[in-house]
Amino acid sequence: MISFLPQFPPADASRGTLLLFAPARVAADTGWHLVLVDVLDRVRGRLARAGARRALDRVRGGVLVALGLRLVVDAR
C-alpha cells in the first residue's frame, strides 16, 4: 500500500498538517481490511469445500516446488 506519510515534507508544512496524514492512513487501512474481511466471509463456505481445499493445496504445493526449483537454478 502507498504510504500517506511523506518522506520529504515541504519546509513550510505545519506540524498539524503532517499529523493529519496519520488518521488518513488509519482510515484507508481500516477500510481496506473491512473490505477484505467482508469478501473472505462471503467466500468462506466455497473455500471450505473438499474440492476447493484440494485445489488450493495443489496450487500452494506447485508454488513451493516452483520456488524450490528457482532456488536450485539461481544457486548455480
55: number of Cβ within 10 Å: 12
pLDDT value of residue 49: 92
Place of cell 474481511: 37
The pTM score is: 0.54
Over residues 19-56, the pLDDT tens digits come to: 887 788 889 899 999 999 999 999 999 988 999 999 99
The percentage of the chain sitting over the pLDDT mark of 70, rounded to a whole number, equals: 91
Among the ranges given (7-11, 12-16, 33-37, 67-71), the one the predictor scored with the smallest mean pLDDT? 7-11
Say if residue 72's pLDDT is above 60. yes
